[in-house]
Chains A and B, each alone.
Chain A
Amino acid sequence: MSNYAIETRNLKIAYGKKEVIKGVNFKIPEKIVFALMGPSGCGKSTLLRSFNRLLDLNKDARVSGEALLFGQNIYGENVDVMSVRREIGMVFQYPNPFPHLTIYENIAIGLRLNKIVQGREELDSRIKWALEKASLLDEVEDRLDDYPSALSGGQKQRLVIARVLAMKPKVLLLDEPTANVDPVGTKNIENLLMELKKEYTIVLVTHEPAQASRISDYVGFLYLGELVESGPTARIFENPKHELTDRYVRGILA
C-alpha cells in the first residue's frame, strides 16, 4: 500500500486534439485537505473528474499516464471502475439533491441501489449517521420527510455531502462546492471539511485562493493545464517559488 491517497504520474488528458492537462505529477497524503486552485478554464474540473474515472463517460476524453488511488493505477488493466468509484465520493458545484425525493430518500437511494445496508433499522441508523457526519442532523432531524427545496443552498450542499458519506468512501472530491452558497453556508461547509479530514482524504477544487488558504493543508496551483507548484499551504502562501504562483495568490495574475 502507498502512503498517498492519490498520486499522479505524468497524467495527461485531452478532449479530442486539445490537451487540457499536460502531464502533471503530484502526491496527496491521506487525511488532509488538498486544494487544487487555479483560474477558471485551467483544467481543475477535468483533473478532478479523472480521479473518479468520470471522464469515461465522455467519448472525446483521452487519458494517459497514471493516476494511483492508494497505490493502484485506476487506469491500469482489469480495474473495476465501480469499485474505484465506491472509494471516492464526489460533490459538484451546484448542490444537486434529487428534487423529487425527500431528504431521507435522497440519502437512502444510493444505499438501497447498492444493497449496502440490510433492513429498515440499519438504513435509519446509517442515514442519521451520515447526516450527523455532515453536520446537518440537528437542522433536519424533525423534517426528514420534507423535500430538499425547503433547504438553503448551504444545507443542500451538506445534504449532498451526507449522501456521499453514507456510502463510506475514503476520498472526497469536491468541485467548487461553495461557489453557489452564501457566506454563512460557505463557513459551515468549510468547517465541515476541516472536521471530515480527520477521517477522509479531501480534494477540494477552488478558484478562490483565499478559500484554499483558509482550509487546506496542501495546495496545488494549476495553470493552463500544468501544475505550476504544489506544497504545504502555509509555504505556498508565504513564499511561493514560482512567479506565476506569486501573482495568482496575490490576485494580480492577468
Chain B
Amino acid sequence: MGEILVGKIKELKSDVLDMGKLAVTMLKDAVEALKSQNTQLAETVLDRKTEIARMDEAIEEKALRMIALYHPVSRDMRTIAAALKMITYLTRIGRYAKDIAKTAVLLANEPHLSKLVEIPYMADKVVGMIDDALTAFENEELAPLENFAERDDEIDALYYSIFRESITYMMEDAKNITKCIHYIIIARYLERCGDHACKIAEKVHYMVTGEHIEIK
C-alpha cells in the first residue's frame, strides 16, 4: 500500500509541475505579447486559461481521492497538502497572465512609452522566482528558495519604481494617462505573482521540513 501511494505521489508532483510550466509560459508570453504588440500571441494566452482551470480541477480531485483512499501521513501528506495549495496559486498566476494578455490587446496599436518602463525586467525576475520555487518542489530541496525574501523585496521596489515613473509620464502629458494606468496595474499584477511565488516557496518548505515559515 505504501509503495502504491509513492507512485501516485510522483504522478501528482509531475501534474503540478506541468501546471506550473503552463502558468509560467502564460505569464512569459503575456509580457512578450505586450512588449512586441503581438495580438496573436496574446490571444493564445487567453485560450490557455481554460486549460489551466481544467488542470486545477483535475489535480484537486486526484489529490482529494488520494487522501480518501490512502490516508497519507508524514511527507506524503505534506506533499499532497503542498500540491493542493500550489495549484491555487498557479491558477491565480494564470489569471494574472490572462489579464496582462487582455491589456496587451488594448495597447497593441500605439508605441509604448520608454520601452514599457521596467515591466519586462520585473517580469523576468518574477518568472525566475516561480521557476525556482517549482524546481525546489520537483527536487524536494531548499537551496533554490534561499534569498526569496530579498528577491521579493526587490520585486516590491520595482513596483514602486514603475509606479513613480508612470506618474511622471502622466504629469508630463495627459495623453499618456491611459497607457500609464495600465502599466501600473500590470506591475501590480506582477508584484502579486511574486507574492504567489513566495507562497509556493513556503509550501515547499513545509513539504520538505514539516515546519511552517513565512517569507514575507
* A interface residues (Cβ-Cβ under 8 A, vs B): 209-210, 213, 237-240, 245-246, 249-253
| A/B interface sample: 13 pairs, CB < 8 A | A209-B73, A237-B73, A238-B73, A238-B78, A239-B78, A239-B209, A239-B211, A245-B74, A246-B74, A250-B73, A250-B76, A251-B2, A252-B6
Interface size on B, residues (CB 8 A): 16
User: With A238-B210, A239-B210 given, is the CB distance from A246 to B2 under 8 Å?
Assistant: no
* Binary A-proximity of B68-97 (CB < 8 A = 1, otherwise 0): 000111111110000000000000000000
Report Cα–Cα, A90/B38, bound state, in Å: 78
* Chain A residue nearest to B211 in the complex (CB): A239
| Chain B neighbourhood of A239, CB < 8 A | 74, 78, 209-211
A246 to B5, CA, bound (A): 14
Q: How far is the CA of A249 from the CA of B72 in the complex (A)?
A: 9
Shortest Cβ gap from A172 to chain B (Å): 26
Query: Which residues does chain A contribute within 8 Å of B174, judged by CB atoms?
Result: none
Residue in B1, B74, B78, B210 whose CB lies within 8 Å of A249: B74
Out of B6, B73, B211, name the residue touching A213 (CB < 8 Å): B73
Q: Give the chain A neighbours of B2 by CB distance below 8 A.
A: 250-253
Please name all residues of chain B whose beta carbon is closer than 8 Å to the beta carbon of A250 when the two chains form the complex.
2, 5-6, 72-76
Q: What's the minimum C-beta distance from B102 to chain A, rounded to whole angstroms?
A: 42
Q: In the complex the two chains form, is B75's CB within 8 Å of A246's CB?
A: yes
Please report the C-alpha to C-alpha distance between residue A124 and residue B46 in the assembled complex, in whole angstroms: 79
Judge whether B3 is part of the interface by a CB distance below 8 angstroms: yes
Residues of the A chain whose Cβ atoms lie less than 8 Å from the Cβ of B5: 250-251
Known A-B contacts A238-B210, A239-B78; the reply to A252 vs B3 at CB < 8 A is yes
Question: Is the CB–CB distance between A240 and B3 below 8 Å?
Answer: no
Give chain A residues whose Cβ lies under 8 Å from the Cβ of B77: 237-238
Task: Given the known inter-chain contacts A239-B78, A239-B210, please indicate yes or no for A249 contacting B6, CB distance below 8 A.
Answer: no
Give bound CA distance, A18 to B164, whole Å.
77
Name B's A-contacting residues (CB within 8 A): 1-3, 5-6, 71-78, 209-211
B78: which A residues are within 8 A, CB to CB? 238-239
Main secondary structure of the interface of A (DSSP, over half): helix
CB contacts (< 8 Å) of A210 on chain B: these are: 71
Closest to B81 in A: A238
Partner pick for A237 among B1, B3, B6, B74, CB 8 A cutoff: B74
Q: Inside 8 A of A252's CB, which chain B residues have their CB?
A: 2-3, 6
| Contact residues in A for B72 (Cβ distance below 8 Å) | 250
Which 6 A-B pairs rank lowest in CB-CB distance, beginning with the nearest? A251-B2, A239-B210, A252-B2, A237-B73, A249-B73, A246-B74
Report B-chain residues with C-beta under 8 Å of the C-beta of A213: 73
Which residue of the partner chain A has the closest CB to B9? A250
How many angstroms between the C-alpha atoms of A238 and B211 in the bound complex? Answer: 10
Determine the chain A residues whose CB is within 8 A of the CB of B6 once the complex forms.
250, 252
Q: How far is the CB of A183 from chain B (nearest CB, A)?
A: 15
What CA separation (Å) do A240 and B77 show in the bound complex?
12
Distance A252 CA – B209 CA, assembled complex (angstroms): 19
Q: Which residue of B lies closest to A235 (CB)?
A: B210
Give the CA-CA distance A209 to B209 in the complex, in Å. 21
Q: Which residues of A contact B1 (CB under 8 A)?
A: 251
How far is A252 from B72 in the complex, measured between Cα atoms in Å? 12
Distance in angstroms from B58 CB to nearest chain A CB is: 24
Minimum CB–CB distance for A189 against chain B, Å? 19
Nearest CB in chain B to that of A252: its residue: B2
A149→B209 CA distance, assembly (Å): 52
B210 to chain A, nearest CB (A): 3
Residues on B with C-beta less than 8 A from A253 are: 2
Cα distance A249–B210 in the bound complex, in angstroms: 15
Chain A residues with Cβ below 8 Å from B3 are 251-252
Chain A nearest CB from B63 CB (Å) reads: 16
Q: How far is the CA of A141 from the CA of B210 in the complex (A)?
A: 50
Considering residues B5, B75, B209, which has the most beta carbons from chain A within 10 angstroms of its beta carbon?
Answer: B75
